[in-house]
């Protein structure tokens, strides 16, 4: 697959997606959204890939937001369509991927960039990362899921303070808030993501996918997550991976998934 705005690589069970517009601080333009859509669809289908690491190229930015130059003259209708299309094509796709997507935040994660990181299953950050949702300073609100996912991750009060002040926070503050799980040096960021990915890959891919579905259903309107958990739990008993996992435990060996 050939891309102009991102790179997609694969090694040792990990898919690496890197947003690659460093001169524009990896801002999400229409073409990048389309390429991310294609890349994540391909990763979902690729049985060799069990974990995805998403990051930005260059030293400065993960993603500095949606590309402001593309929407500065939009009408309300065009604005609404931009948000809906982006959410469906990329942000919801990532959140519902059947394999964990780790955001490795290497620099600015602002606006759509932080929203992209929040659509991932979890986040780690380098000490150089800076995060925020500055949309209200531009006269809009977060439109790629930020008003919904940020309160879930850090609580309503903190989310509303961050959104209404348009403030930027450091990696350490983001960790204290629970927005990122770990903070490390820029050099150690991808190795740390790979270390976590290796731990995930020791486990049953089917069970990992089921866990993602159940956890995601905790925050879906009109869906009972406990029912999802019961259904997914039961389904696991019908898989070869369950037989392998339990047999390996009883035989005192490591499972081979």
> Would you please indicate which residues are annotated as catalytic (active-site) residues?
115, 135
Check residue 108 for interaction with ligand COA (CB under 6 A).
Answer: yes
Quick check: 128 binds ligand COA (CB under 6 A)?
A: no
Read off the tokens for 200.
């995930």
Tell whether residue 182 is a contact of ligand COA (CB under 6 A).
Answer: no
- Judged by CB under 6 A, the stretch of 9-17, 63-71, 176-184, 197-205 that binds ligand COA is 63-71
Supply the minimum distance, in Å, between the C-beta of residue 163 and ligand COA.
12
134 is an interface residue for ligand COA by CB under 6 A: yes
- Distance (Å, rounded) from C-alpha 135 to C-alpha 114? 11
For the record, the structure tokens of 168 come out as: 């930027």
> C-alpha angle with apex 217: 129 to 242, nearest 5 degrees?
100
Q: Judged by CB under 6 A, does residue 19 bind ligand COA? A: no
Q: Which is nearer to ligand COA, 98 or 147 (CB)?
A: 147
- Contact flag: residue 66 with ligand COA (CB under 6 A): yes
Give the nearer residue to ligand COA in terms of CB position, either 68 or 153.
Answer: 68
The answer to whether 106 and 126 are in contact (CB under 8 A) is yes
CA 179/CA 170 separation, integer angstroms: 11
Q: Tell which positions 191-220 bind ligand COA, by CB under 6 A.
A: none
Closest CA to 163 of 181, 178, 143, 180: 143
Q: Shortest distance, CB of residue 62 to ligand COA, whole angstroms?
A: 10
- Measured from the CB atom, is 31 or 236 closer to ligand COA? 31
CB of 140 to ligand COA, least distance (A): 7
* 27 contributes a contact to ligand COA by CB under 6 A: yes
CB-CB contact of 167 with 135 (8 Å): no
Q: What tokens does 124 get? A: 């780690």
- 145 binding ligand COA? (CB under 6 A): no
H and E: helices and strands count for the chain? 12, 10
- Among the residue ranges 64-72, 81-89, 201-209, 211-219, the one whose residues contact ligand COA (CB under 6 A): 64-72
Angle (CA) 142-147-148 rounded to 5° is 135
Size of the site for ligand COA (CB under 6 A): 16
Tell me how far apart the alpha carbons of residues 170 and 168 are, in angstroms, rounded to a whole number. Answer: 7
User: Should residue 56 be labelled a site residue for ligand COA when binding is judged by CB under 6 A?
Assistant: no
Q: Give me the half-sphere count of Cα atoms (radius 13 Å) on the Cβ side of residue 150.
A: 27
| Out of 64, 154, 174, 214, the residue judged to bind ligand COA by CB under 6 A | 64
Total Cβ atoms within 10 A of residue 232: 18
Q: Which residues bind ligand COA (CB under 6 A)?
A: 24-25, 27, 64-69, 108, 110-112, 134-135, 138
């Amino acid at each position: 697959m050939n891309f102009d705005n991102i790179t997609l690589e694969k090694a040792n069970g990990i898919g690496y997606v890197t947003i690659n517009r460093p001169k524009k601080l990896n801002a999400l333009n229409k073409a990048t959204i389309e390429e991310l859509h294609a890349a994540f669809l391909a990763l979902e289908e690729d049985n060799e890939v069990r974990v995805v690491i998403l990051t930005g190229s260059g030293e400065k930015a993960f993603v500095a937001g949606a590309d402001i130059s593309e929407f500065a003259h939009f009408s309300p209708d065009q604005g609404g369509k931009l948000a809906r299309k982006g959410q469906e094509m990329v942000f919801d796709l990532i959140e519902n991927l059947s394999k964990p997507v780790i955001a490795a935040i290497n620099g600015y994660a602002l606006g759509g960039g932080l929203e992209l990181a929040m659509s991932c299953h979890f986040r780690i950050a380098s000490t150089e990362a800076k995060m925020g949702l500055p949309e209200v300073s531009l006269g809009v609100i977060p439109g790629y899921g930020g008003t919904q996912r940020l309160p879930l991750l850090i609580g309503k009060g903190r989310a509303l303070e961050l959104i209404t002040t348009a403030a930027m926070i450091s990696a350490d503050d983001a960790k204290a808030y629970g927005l990122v799980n770990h903070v490390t040096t820029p050099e150690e960021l991808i190795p740390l993501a790979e270390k976590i990915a290796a731990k995930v890959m020791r486990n049953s891919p089917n069970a990992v996918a089921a866990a993602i579905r159940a956890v995601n259903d905790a925050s879906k309107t009109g869906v009972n997550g406990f029912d999802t958990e019961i259904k997914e739990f039961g389904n696991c008993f019908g898989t070869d991976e369950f037989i392998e996992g339990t047999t390996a435990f009883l035989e005192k060996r490591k499972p081979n998934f």
